[in-house]
Amino acid sequence: MIKLGVLLSGSGSNLQAIIDAIVEGRLNASIELVVSSRPDAFGLERAQKAGIPTVALTRETYIDPLAADALICEELQKVNVDYLVMAGYMRMVRSPLLQAFPNRIINIHPALLPAFPGAHGIADAFAAGVKVTGVTVHFASEIYDTGPIIAQRAIEVREDDTLESLEQRIHSVEHQLYPEVLQLIAQGRVSIREDGVVRIEEEAT
């Protein structure tokens, strides 16, 4: 059983997927705290509905990144979380937070990194005309959308895809993959080699 903190900024559909996986017994974890960078994020409602404590950055903390990260750190350490899960968190994770949770902050990105980093991974891939894109789950690092890759899943771009239909398929893969990867972590099967490559151990049988 691992204790998670979830960082989000928006609707929190990945949070919901994680909550569902816990409820359905697919993920041996508990969510101790949900932190939103915005007080009006719908993800906060999802958390409250699931009985999870929440913290939202105020306007004052939001505009001061160091104060914000200090607050987040403090709140997360109070509840003793093991891992931080970024679920549509539209802010940089800065070094105080990275140092407090070394190789314990996990992010999901809607493209096959290192291709199409940034805030518009799906639209950028679609506009570039790639025929395969996907989803990446990785450890967060100082540089946005880099850091050791834990898992990736490929998604074919179909001839009749619109940006919207592609987005939908990518999000549905995210909602599958994220809880699966967190369960690998909960099972202690994920490690980072010295060369930065992530190893997944076989399941004990």
Is residue 109 part of the annotated active site? The answer reads: yes
Question: What separation in angstroms does the CA of 53 have from each of 87, 101, 114, 126, 149?
Answer: 16, 20, 34, 37, 29
If one asks whether residue 113 binds a copy of itself (CB under 8 A), the answer comes out as yes
Look at strands 83-86 and 105-109 and give their pairing: parallel
User: For residues 3 and 153, which CB has a smaller minimum distance to a copy of itself in the complex?
Assistant: 153
Report the site for a copy of itself in 54-73 (rule: CB under 8 A). Answer: none
78 binds a copy of itself (CB under 8 A): no
Find the binding residues for a copy of itself in span 184-203 (CB under 8 A): 195-200, 202
Cβ atoms 173, 112 nearer than 8 A: no
Position 130 contacts a copy of itself (CB under 8 A): yes
Identify the residue among 67, 115, 123, 173 touching a copy of itself (CB under 8 A): 115
Which one, of 4, 21, 30, 13, lies nearest residue 106 by Cα? 4
- Tell me if 153 contacts a copy of itself by CB under 8 A: yes
What's the min distance (Å) between Cβ of 105 and a copy of itself? 17
Closest CA to 10 of 40, 32, 31: 40
**129 contacts: CB under 8 Å, gap ≥ 6:** none
Determine, following the binding rule CB under 8 A, whether residue 150 of this chain makes contact with a copy of itself. yes
Closer residue to a copy of itself (CB): 103 or 152: 152
Q: How far apart are CA 12 and CA 10, in angstroms?
A: 6
Give the residue numbers annotated as catalytic, written as ranges.
109
Positions that interact with a copy of itself (CB under 8 A)? 112-116, 127-132, 134, 148-154, 156, 159, 195-200, 202
